[in-house]
Amino acid sequence: MEILKNEYVRLTLYILGTGIVGGVIAFLGNQLGRYIGRKKLSVFKLRPRYTSMLITVVTGMLIAMLTLSAAVIISRPVRIVLTGWDKFMKEMKTYQDIQIEKAKQEQQQSILLYNYQDVILSVVVQPDNDYQQMKSALLGIVSMANESALKKAGIMAEEKHITLEPPPRGKLVGYIPENLEEVARELRRLKEKQVIFVRANQNALLGNQFYVELGKPIPNALIFKKDEMILETRIDGGKSYDQIFQDLLSCIVGDITSISVQKGMFPNPEDKTVGEIDQEYLNRIAGKIKDTKKEVTVRFYSREDTYIRGPLKLRMEISK
């Protein structure tokens, strides 16, 4: 506030000073013009009348020149406008570019790529007694997790119009050697196929490197056999097509996911669901239910043998 007050005082003094000096020059010019008119003096061999007019013009020019000169001397913005406008505009553009980039970086710093313990991917591994082979297999899984994280980061950055700098040596994720070696030793003692889940070991911000954790091996257990019925429900064919479609989708996303998770299946890390069904197939079933115009029974079956990491592929049957 004090700086702003000083600027106002300075501006006021500048206006008053310029006005006073301009008034003095105008007065002197007027007096000189009248004196020349009374004495009938001539300048540059002009008639006294024209000489008086010349004095008036010169006086006006002096006032304008004095005002502009005072503005240039006193005011830095005026000097910039008159002597360095192009340079000033370049500096302003550079400053704006820096501020925009800074804002983007601050925005980027607040965007979560993964929450702590989010699943990045899962892989089925066949155990082997060879420790080095198991270690190499796990390193390959870490590499797959890195590619998955890079792909997700690229999609998020594109959606939010953010330019990401590529990570050093293309490594967005790192691993904890002790964790990897422990899992490799455990795999040596097992026989059946195991599922390894790779999770974020910290909150991972978009564009920042982070560590992952390899979960303990989990037997790749069979959850649903082929053609096993998972859910039976009633849906009213008298409803609108959109409502029927939503009822079917609700069964898949809600009820079937809940049943599957209770039986030990792991949901998709992106949308937290397990059911996978073709959109066109779901549209066709909704249309058939709508054509009945009555309440029908819909049964959901597993299309094939489904293990804990899924996905659960579904087929549906309708009966009146």
If asked whether residues 57 and 155 sit together in one domain, one would say: no
Q: Which domain holds residue 183?
A: 112-219
Residue 4 pLDDT:
47
Quick one: pLDDT band at residue 272, thresholds 50, 70, 90? Answer: confident
Residue 136 pLDDT:
95
If asked whether residues 153 and 54 sit together in one domain, one would say: no
Is position 93 within any domain? no
C-alpha distances in Å from residue 10, one per residue of 13, 17, 65, 79, 80:
5, 10, 20, 16, 18
What CA–CA distance (Å, rounded) separates 150 from 166?
9
If asked whether residues 185 and 229 sit together in one domain, one would say: no
If asked whether residues 226 and 214 sit together in one domain, one would say: no
Is position 256 within any domain? yes
- What's the mean pLDDT in 76-97? 68
If asked whether residues 212 and 226 sit together in one domain, one would say: no
Last residue of a domain, one of 219, 237, 258: 219
Using a pLDDT cut of 70, give the percent of the chain over it: 70
- Inform me whether the pLDDT recorded for 28 exceeds 90: no
Is position 139 within any domain? yes
pTM above 0.85, yes or no: no
Q: Give the per-residue SS3 of 166-187.
A: CCHHHCCEEECHHHHHHHHHHH
Q: Are strands 173-175 and 210-214 parallel, antiparallel or unpaired?
A: parallel
Residue 209 pLDDT:
92
Last residue of a domain, one of 219, 247, 277: 219
Pair 108, 206: CB distance under 8 Å: yes
Handedness of CA 94, 96, 100, 106 (dihedral sign): positive
What CA–CA distance (Å, rounded) separates 26 from 306?
99
- What's the mean pLDDT in 269-276? 72
Q: Which of 25-39, 95-109, 224-238, 246-260 has the lowest mean pLDDT?
A: 25-39
Pair 193, 223: CB distance under 8 Å: no
If asked whether residues 190 and 248 sit together in one domain, one would say: no
Pair 228, 219: CB distance under 8 Å: no
Q: Which of 80-94, 104-118, 141-155 has the lowest mean pLDDT?
A: 80-94
pLDDT digits (tens, 9 = 90+) for 40-70: 655 566 666 666 676 677 766 776 677 667 6
If asked whether residues 69 and 136 sit together in one domain, one would say: no
Query: Which has the closest alpha carbon to 112: 153, 145, 158?
Result: 153
If asked whether residues 181 and 240 sit together in one domain, one would say: no
Number of domain units in the chain: 3
Is position 127 within any domain? yes
pLDDT digits (tens, 9 = 90+) for 140-191: 999 999 999 999 999 988 888 888 888 988 999 999 999 999 999 999 999 9
